[in-house]
Chains A and B, each alone.
Chain A
Amino acid sequence: MNIYVYTIRRSLYVIPILLGVSMMIFFLFNFISGDPTSILLGPHATAVQMAELRQELGLDRAWYFQYWDIVKSAFTFDFGRSWTTKQQISSMLSSGAIPSMTVSIPAFIISTVLSISIALLISFFRGGWLDKTVVFVCVTMMSISSLAYILFSQWFFAFKLGWFEISGYENGFPDFVPYVLLPILIWVMMTIGPNVRFFRTVMLDEVYQDYVRTARSKGLSEYYILFKHVLKNAMIPIITYVVIQIPFLILGALLTESFFGIPGLGSMTLDAINGNDFPVIKAMTILTAVAYIIFSLITDVLYTVVDPRVRLK
């Protein structure tokens, strides 16, 4: 089987997954969301008004119509209107995406590059005190709750020391920059631990391979081996690991956005969860799931292309 056929076959596999996701979303959310009318109409609602609204929202239709709506929305991205803000969800998504990405993308890049560099460095000194210390610090950093990071950083770095804006957001570059610095920093602090650990493991996996031993016996310098061979070969799992994280960047940083007043998709999702705003919850779930499916497809194909060792089945 050649690579093209594989790609096509792998792409077709997206369809059952999408159907599965839409089914799961339907079961998870339509069944539990129940009747939203009393929430929407406030404390003075009457039974007649509730019935009218149910009809207006299409909640009185048969289940397969409601299921079909979900399937349709996965392709058209038309999610209707939010129950709480009454806004078009697609426009909420597009206006929230940019603020989220101004935090998540720089944070993601910084964290990834920084972690790879650190991992390379400590695999060079593997087993030494530097390696041990860095790993210990990384593990310590990932053992702290994200909420504790946020609460403490906002209070200490932004308020007590005044190094950063406490919260807020402005649209447009470079106005947003001061507001995203601390959120980015928190993101990096939270992700660098697991990243370094993973990259280190991947690199050590390579270091103990036979070809490295051969190279070493040939008298090549450790430095050369590390950059020329180890990094190159470790790139495959690294890229896979990195690419598969991308879809979740859409969700942004839930708590961070909420605490720092960044009007992104993360805080929108939290608002929706707190407000039982099921159309928005569903939309975010579908969006992330679709992105996840697409990116896993990309990683799979990439993997096959770059690593001839992977057997095409």
Chain B
Amino acid sequence: MLKQINTLLVTTIFLFFLLGGCAKKVDPNVKVLNFVISSKVKGMDPVYAADKYSNNEIARVYEGLLEYHYLKRPYTLVPNLAASMPKVSADGLTYTFKIKQGVMFHDDICFPRGKGRELEAADFVYSIKRLADPKLQSLGWWLLDGKIKGLNSWRKKYSSADAADYSEVVEGLQALDKYTLQFKLARPFPQFLYSLAMPFTFAVANEAVTKYGKEFLNHPVGTGPFILPAFEQSNKITYVKNPTFREKLYPSEASEEFKKLGYLADAGKRLPLVDKIVVKTMVESQPRWLNFLKGKLDYISIPKDNFDTAVIPGKGISDKLAKKGIILLITPSLDVTYTSFNFDHKLFQNKKLRQALSLAIDIHKVNKLFYNDTGLPANSVIPPGIAGHIKGFVNKYQGPDLERSKKLLAEAGYKDGKGLPELVYETTASTTARLQGDLFVRRMALIGVKARIQQNTWPEMNKKINNRTAMIWGIAWSADYPDAENFLQLLYGPNRAPGSNKAGYNNPAFNRMFEVASRMQDSPERTAFYERLNLLVAEDSPWIFGVHRQSYVIKHGWLKNYISSDFDSGQAQYLNINLKEKIKKIEVL
């Protein structure tokens, strides 16, 4: 009996290997994009599109009124589902949009006869009300909270009812006719248009929401360039080209930097340029790397604070990879990393102490170890690339300067660290985060300050930061939209945790100036305000500034038109694959 089982076993194992042996070849007729993301997508409902990954996935299927021009820097908003940029009233409070005609929703059984209907202005009214719906607990409500006339009272009215009434007219959010949409703002909000390019405000069809109910997050029905028939919680998402996509063309204008690099090769071609997108989830970095090296992924972005690169520090890609046609793209990104103090601890209200600790940090070493020496040491909060950043300004308290650090520490009343409690640096469990914490602890030891790290899962750390029990922690902020206001609000007193000002920094002078600046339209005066705020923060050292990171992407030569961007949702429609090149290259990988 045992013998038979063994024979059976051997045969099965053999069969398994045989089946495993036949690798799939590249299909020469179908252009497929192969992407990877490092965490699971949280459903396909725009109102929950709070993280970058969900954002990108949602923007393949759904679209909004506006988008960022694919080939222009600095970032420029252009119409997408809107027919043109809106008319804005003189007081800056009323925005009137005309939307494109003839835009169709994807075919789906939620529509009569399964045919997608035309998009109307009312769809945006509906979609944005969903963002405010208290029953949905959307993650994007902060974006419009208090900004659209009547929307807050609508939300409040239904917060204890069983369901919100979408037919009730909200003054600031109306469809004047089939193609005209009007927003009335409650107060000047110069960043308003940016919010219309974010997936939170993308158009959904109420038929789909009604039909699928709570399962709507698994049945995306949009107007976008790709279709996802059904979203499954697995490690693979496959999109196909939308056959009824309107005529949208690859841009024929570009910033000079892109023109030179041949990004206009596909100018005037109808979008999307590929037939299929396959997005895989790989939580661990090892499989991401290995799959990329084998050509199974078109590109991988190297996590910004991750040193696990094939990149020679400070130089570029290693010869071995360059020979395989692998290309490295380094692009500055709109963000800042920092080590935050908790101002609830009396200790950290001592400015000299904050400055002393800041001076102890060797920012160049941080840059070298964790950002391959390509990050830009941050002198204050606003990154280069947006108004408010001051070129050439050097923060006096940027480390490493152990002498001055020790001196300031003594002036702060803690000579050689005496009298200071042990500092606790909170970090997540990721290897890189822990190593960064290690470095912090080691620098502190050099000025006599005792410190230790404490690892957490991300939610745990989040909780500690929000309920203000964390003492010191390292974190980063990436822009939601390209405006300095988005960075400065991190230090605005009234935003204190659980709001976005996690440090709890509260400086009346800063607050007053911020309030003025945040209501101003883009102008040289506003830029001057931003710069003053930026300088004030640099002197006050509420955080230890880290670096403005660069995004690192390594891609195979066959992936065309790829640009690393801070706002890359919707990007897939512009990408192209050179199949001939891919078939040739994949042989040698």
A–B contact (CB under 8 angstroms):
yes
Which A residues have a C-beta under 8 Å from some C-beta of B? Answer: 34-36, 38-47, 49-50, 52-53, 56, 81, 84-88, 91-92, 95-96, 99, 106, 110, 113-114, 116-117, 120, 151, 154-155, 158-159, 162, 164-171, 174, 177-178, 181, 184, 227, 258-263, 267, 270-271, 273-276
Kindly supply a per-residue 1/0 record for chain B positions 441-470, scoring 1 wherever the CB is within 8 Å of any chain A CB and 0 otherwise. Answer: 000000000000000011110110011000
Complex partner residue of A178 from B19, B141, B283, B287, CB under 8 angstroms:
B19
| Chain B proximity of A226: nearest CB distance (Å) | 11
**In the complex the two chains form, what is the Cα distance from A8 to B215 in whole Å?**
42
**In the complex the two chains form, what is the Cα distance from A1 to B283 in whole Å?**
55
Given A38-B498, A154-B290, A155-B290, A169:B137 Cβ within 8 A: no
Q: Besides the contacts A44-B500, A87-B43, A171-B234, what 18 more A-B pairs have beta carbons closer than 8 Å?
A: A38-B498, A39-B463, A40-B137, A42-B139, A44-B139, A45-B499, A46-B142, A49-B137, A95-B233, A117-B6, A120-B2, A155-B286, A168-B235, A178-B20, A259-B286, A261-B281, A261-B287, A273-B457
Complex partner residue of A174 from B19, B282, B466, CB under 8 angstroms:
B19
- Contact residues in B for A41 (Cβ distance below 8 Å): 137, 139
- 9 CB < 8 A contacts A-B: A46-B145, A52-B159, A87-B43, A96-B233, A116-B2, A168-B236, A170-B236, A263-B236, A275-B457
**In the complex the two chains form, what is the Cα distance from A263 to B282 in whole Å?**
10
**In the complex the two chains form, what is the Cα distance from A164 to B290 in whole Å?**
12
**In the complex the two chains form, what is the Cα distance from A77 to B544 in whole Å?**
49
Task: Scan residues 42-73 of chain B and give those whose CB is less than 8 A from a CB of chain A.
Answer: 42-43, 45, 48, 50
Complex partner residue of A42 from B23, B40, B50, B280, CB under 8 angstroms:
B50
Residues B234 and A95 in contact, CB atoms below 8 Å apart = yes
Residues A154 and B286 in contact, CB atoms below 8 Å apart = yes
Residues B42 and A86 in contact, CB atoms below 8 Å apart = yes
**In the complex the two chains form, what is the Cα distance from A52 to B134 in whole Å?**
8
- Contact residues in A for B215 (Cβ distance below 8 Å): 88
Given A38-B466, A113-B6, A171-B234, A50:B20 Cβ within 8 A: no
Kindly supply a per-residue 1/0 record for chain B positions 539-560, scoring 1 wherever the CB is within 8 Å of any chain A CB and 0 otherwise. Answer: 0000000000000000000000
Given A110-B9, A263-B235, A164:B467 Cβ within 8 A: no
Residues B500 and A159 in contact, CB atoms below 8 Å apart = no
- Contact residues in A for B500 (Cβ distance below 8 Å): 43-44
| Chain A proximity of B54: nearest CB distance (Å) | 10
Given A42-B50, A168-B236, A261-B281, A50:B498 Cβ within 8 A: yes
**In the complex the two chains form, what is the Cα distance from A49 to B140 in whole Å?**
11
**B5 in the interface (beta carbon within 8 A):** yes
Residues B217 and A86 in contact, CB atoms below 8 Å apart = yes
- Contact residues in A for B233 (Cβ distance below 8 Å): 85, 87, 91-92, 95-96, 263
Residues A259 and B287 in contact, CB atoms below 8 Å apart = yes
**In the complex the two chains form, what is the Cα distance from A300 to B499 in whole Å?**
56
> Which residue of B has the minimal Cβ distance to A51?
B159
**B291 in the interface (beta carbon within 8 A):** yes
| Chain A proximity of B544: nearest CB distance (Å) | 20
Residues B460 and A276 in contact, CB atoms below 8 Å apart = yes
Task: Scan residues 370-388 of chain B and give those whose CB is less than 8 A from a CB of chain A.
Answer: none
| Chain A proximity of B438: nearest CB distance (Å) | 20
Given A42-B139, A117-B2, A86:B9 Cβ within 8 A: no
- Contact residues in A for B145 (Cβ distance below 8 Å): 46
> Which residue of B has the minimal Cβ distance to A120?
B2
Residues B159 and A169 in contact, CB atoms below 8 Å apart = no
Residues A44 and B142 in contact, CB atoms below 8 Å apart = yes
Given A43-B500, A86-B217, A276:B48 Cβ within 8 A: no
- Contact residues in A for B499 (Cβ distance below 8 Å): 44-46
Residues A86 and B43 in contact, CB atoms below 8 Å apart = yes
